Amino acid sequence: MLKGKKISKLDSKSVPKKPEKEKKLNIKLRVNILFAVIFSLFLVLLGRLYYMQVIDKSFYADKLKETGANTTVTTSMPRGQIFDATGKLLASTSTVPSITFERKASITADEMRQNAVKLVPILQSFVDTSGLTSRDLKDYFLSDPKNLSLINAELPASKQVDSQGRRLSEATIYSKLINLVKDSQIQYSGDDLVAAELYKMMNGTKLYASSNIVSGDISSEQQAAIAGQLSSLPGISFGSDWEHSIDQSNLLSPLLGTISTTKSGLPKDEVASLLKQGYSLNDRVGLSYLEKGYESDLQGKKEITQIAVDSKGQAKEKTLVQAGANGKNLKLTVNLDFENGVQQILQNDLSKVLNATNSHVRGAYAVVLNSQTGAILSMNGLDRDTTTGTLTNNSLAPMIDSFIPGSTVKPGTLTAGWASNAISGNQIQDDQIIQIQGSNPITSYWGSSSPMPITAQQALEYSSNTYMVQVALKMLGQPYSPNMTINSTNTPKVYDELRGAYAQYGLGTSTGIDIPGETTGLVPSTGSEGATTGKLLQEAFGQFDNYSPLQLAQYAQTIANNGVRLAPHIVDGVYTSTDSSLGTLASAVQSKTMDKVNITQANMDTIHQGMHDVVYGGHSLTTGGLIGQGALTEIYAKTGTSEGFASNGDAITVNNAIAFAPGPSPQIAVGIMVPDTSVVSHVNQDMVRDIVNLAVQMKIIK
């Protein structure tokens, strides 16, 4: 370096500059990179949104449900009541005090547990712990924060997330905790079980809804004891509930059926279908008979409220979606006084034939229908204990039990014969001994000694078995000749023809009654073991299939109504009311035609005349003359007995009858069955006459 020589700054012009074009390329590159990064991030965002909204939609939908937005709360209304035809209350609904629990979002499981513990000394008499399950006890165990912390410590964090590291739903995690609770940790007894049941009821209450945890005869002292602690019982308050009770002292009580309790809720076999109809699991519903058959009317219309919930889970707005309404009331077709009168007749007439030689009687059953509408005027039954002789009311028996009908089927047999052209009109045939080769002879009850020509009308009046057997043989295409053999080829066909005619009258088929649970009788299938040609001949005079007393009554109604079969109905009308009264008619139950018998009016007239002559024929072979003795109006009837033997060898019969009155313009039809009386009993005839007379006296027959 040279001394003293000063170094000057480089001249800017001496430094080489980047071309302008190169500068622009660098800026463009940077912008492109920035756009590429933004675009890539945008693609990632789109991909994530697609994954959340399409691929993993259900997961996030469940998460959304957990946070809440809107919820719907339903409140059940009181059940409808049931009245007899005159307005007597048979099944009532009354308001009772209740202790309620409103489940707010702020109330914790621990607070519900503490509520339960505090209420145990006051409400334990109302609490049934028999339905508690292992799961219920585990829920109660985990409601204690100490127990929850203890069990939670046993569940590692890795078990609380899914395969992608996302936290599982609280419900899923809780299920895992439940599985970790040991049986040894839930060995509760005494007051702890009562507390567990109370906690179960509170815990089962839907969020933002209220439920009755206890209702009934809560004393003023018990209410005062709770009132003094309300500030320390979050969600607990006073309310009202309803109770539905059936007067068990009235004869119709078995027909009315039963309803479930809040605890038992919906019947298991109907849960799915009832939930679809808007029911809740703990709703009280009809379980049997009338309560079940008219469930849709008796069940109140629920009040539905929609609650808007804010982000903190607090209810901020309530909107009434549907106003509630009490269940509708039912008015029955049965006058309870007439029902009581019919049972008194069954008791009185039965007592006349009960003696040491007639001890096998199993009961007496009667059904009375309005022959023009099908309305049930009485459905009455007495069961008899053959060991003790005790009589008990059973108004269900006429529709659920069945017995051999005997000769009451003979109008149906004639109908089948006419329909198949085996006989025509009031055709004459000989009542005679029927001897089929290799079989016991068949005779009429008077024991035919020689052939006696009789008409179809007389076959009913005299109750000729052999006339009906010959009808069946002609239907088989094999008219009777002594010691004949029978070709069984057409046996199934004739079974079907006979049973088809009977079914048109209501025998061996559904009557269409508006109460569920009826029997269709005992009708062995064609071709089954026992349904032989020999039994077919016995079928023709009522010694094979079994029918119910209700079916016999409908059979009588169909004959009275010139072949039009109407469904029996016990409900006359459905009413709306806001208090304990019957209320205003909402809808009347209309007559329903079930079938029309394939019969000409001329042939139906033959049946009518034959049934008239059963009572008033005056011949020594007339079978129902006792019915007319003392009758207050004209009665048409057909009696029937089915023969058998008791276990000790005593000869017994089922004494039956069908009837209608007043003839020839009937208003009522009657079916009677008295199983296992002595052969000489005529109790069926006494019952028919006395029931018809009662109907006249009570102006049911006008």
Instruction: Render pLDDT for 382-437 as a digit per residue (tens, 0 to 9).
Output: 999 988 989 999 999 999 999 999 999 999 999 999 999 999 999 999 999 999 99
Residue 48: pLDDT band with limits 50, 70, 90? low
Q: pLDDT at position 3, please? A: 45
Residue 37: pLDDT band with limits 50, 70, 90? confident
Rounded CA gap, 702 and 45, in Å? 86
Q: pLDDT at position 21, please? A: 64
Catalytic, 407? Answer yes
- Alpha carbon distances (Å) from 459 to 411, 452, 638: 10, 11, 11
Rounded CA gap, 293 and 515, in Å? 5
CB 366 within 8 A of CB 671: yes
Highest mean pLDDT among 1-10, 51-60, 474-483, 638-647: 474-483
Mean pLDDT across 39-45: 76
- Per-residue pLDDT reduced to its tens digit, 544-580: 999 999 999 999 999 999 999 999 999 999 999 988 8
Rounded CA gap, 58 and 376, in Å? 55
Q: pLDDT at position 24, please? A: 67
Query: Among 215, 378, 402, 407, which one carries the catalytic annotation?
Result: 407
Give how far the C-alpha of residue 645 lies from the chain's centroid of Cα atoms, to the nearest Å. 37
What is the full DSSP assignment across 363-384?
EEEEEEEETTT-BEEEEEEEEE
Mean pLDDT across 518-541: 88
- Per-residue pLDDT reduced to its tens digit, 219-247: 999 999 999 999 999 999 999 899 999 99
Is the link from the previous residue into 664 a cis peptide, with omega within 30 of 0? yes
Mean pLDDT across 582-604: 97
Residue 679: pLDDT band with limits 50, 70, 90? confident
Least confident of 56-60, 65-69, 684-688: 65-69
Q: pLDDT at position 439, please? A: 92
Helix, coil or strand: residue 13: helix
Residue bearing the bigger pLDDT, 212 or 607: 607
The CATH architecture of the domain made up of 336-405+492-563+599-697 is 3-Layer(aba) Sandwich (3.40)
Q: pLDDT at position 10, please? A: 42
Residue 161: CB atoms within 10 Å: 12
Q: Quick check: 595 pLDDT over 90?
A: yes
Residue 194: pLDDT band with limits 50, 70, 90? very high
Contacts 24+ apart (CB under 8 A), 572-575: 572/85, 572/331, 572/332, 572/333, 572/375, 573/330, 573/331, 574/294, 574/297, 574/328, 574/329, 574/330, 574/331, 575/328, 575/329, 575/330, 575/331
Q: Quick check: 374 pLDDT over 90?
A: yes
Rounded CA gap, 491 and 415, in Å? 18
Q: pLDDT at position 648, please? A: 79
Q: pLDDT at position 537, please? A: 96
- Per-residue pLDDT reduced to its tens digit, 298-316: 999 888 888 777 666 666 7
Residue 374: CB atoms within 10 Å: 30
Residue 11: pLDDT band with limits 50, 70, 90? very low
Rounded CA gap, 248 and 257, in Å? 11
Q: Quick check: 86 pLDDT over 90?
A: yes
- Per-residue pLDDT reduced to its tens digit, 257-269: 999 988 888 999 9
CB 656 within 8 A of CB 670: no
Residue 5: pLDDT band with limits 50, 70, 90? very low
Mean pLDDT across 525-531: 74
Residue 1: pLDDT band with limits 50, 70, 90? very low
Q: Quick check: 103 pLDDT over 50?
A: yes
Residue bearing the bigger pLDDT, 262 or 621: 621
What tokens does 59 get?
A: 């997961």
Taking Cα atoms as reference points, which of 4, 5, 227 lies closest to residue 119? 227
Q: pLDDT at position 622, please? A: 96
pTM for the full predicted model:
0.83
Taking Cα atoms as reference points, which of 384, 390, 344 lies closest to residue 364? 384
Q: pLDDT at position 9, please? A: 45
Q: How many residues does the chain have?
A: 702
Q: pLDDT at position 527, please? A: 67
Q: Quick check: 52 pLDDT over 80?
A: no
Residue bearing the bigger pLDDT, 72 or 625: 625
Domain boundaries in the chain?
A: 67-103+240-332+572-589, 105-204, 336-405+492-563+599-697
Q: Give strand pairing partners of 265.
A: none
Helix, coil or strand: residue 66: helix
Query: 33 burial class (0-12, 13-18, 19+ CB within 10 angstroms)?
Result: exposed
Query: Considering only the top CATH level, what class is 67-103+240-332+572-589?
Result: alpha beta
Highest mean pLDDT among 112-116, 307-311, 528-532: 112-116
Label residues 539-573 b or e (16+ Cβ within 10 Å = b).
Answer: bbbbbbbbbbbbbbbbbbbbbbbebbbbbbbbbbb
Mean pLDDT, the chain, integer: 90
Q: Quick check: 508 pLDDT over 50?
A: yes
CATH (one of 3.40.50.300, 1.10.10.1230, 3.40.50.720, 1.10.10.10) for 105-204 = 1.10.10.1230
Q: What percent of the chain stands above pLDDT 90?
A: 71
